[in-house]
Amino acid sequence: MWRWIRQQLGFDPPHQSDTRTIYVANRFPQNGLYTPQKFIDNRIISSKYTVWNFVPKNLFEQFRRVANFYFLIIFLVQLMIDTPTSPVTSGLPLFFVITVTAIKQGYEDWLRHNSDNEVNGAPVYVVRSGGLVKTRSKNIRVGDIVRIAKDEIFPADLVLLSSDRLDGSCHVTTASLDGETNLKVCLHMFEYCSW
pLDDT tens readout for residues 156-188: 777 777 777 777 777 777 666 666 667 777 665
Instruction: Please state, in angstroms and as integers, the Cα–Cα distance from residue 67 to each residue in 98, 144, 175, following that order.
Output: 11, 50, 35
- Does residue 80 fall inside a structural domain? yes
Q: Check pLDDT > 70 for residue 134.
A: yes
112 vs 26, more confident: 112
- Does residue 195 fall inside a structural domain? no
Instruction: Please state, in angstroms and as integers, the Cα–Cα distance from residue 37 to each residue in 24, 26, 43, 159, following that order.
Output: 14, 12, 18, 20
- Does residue 106 fall inside a structural domain? yes
**Using CA atoms, how far apart are residues 95 and 115, in angstroms rounded to an integer?**
30
- Does residue 192 fall inside a structural domain? no
Domain of 104 in residue numbering reads as 53-120
- Does residue 65 fall inside a structural domain? yes
pTM metric for this prediction: 0.68
The fraction of the chain above a pLDDT of 70, given in percent, is: 72
pLDDT in tens, 41-74: 888 888 899 999 999 999 999 999 999 999 999 9
195 pLDDT tier (thresholds 50, 70, 90): very low
Contacts from 43-48 at CB under 8 Å and sequence distance 24+?
A: 43/116, 43/120, 43/138, 44/116, 44/119, 44/120, 44/138, 45/116, 46/112, 46/115, 46/116, 47/109, 47/112, 47/113, 47/116, 48/105, 48/109, 48/112
| Tally of domains within the chain | 1
Pairing label, strands 170-173, 145-147:
unpaired
- Does residue 168 fall inside a structural domain? no
- Does residue 136 fall inside a structural domain? no
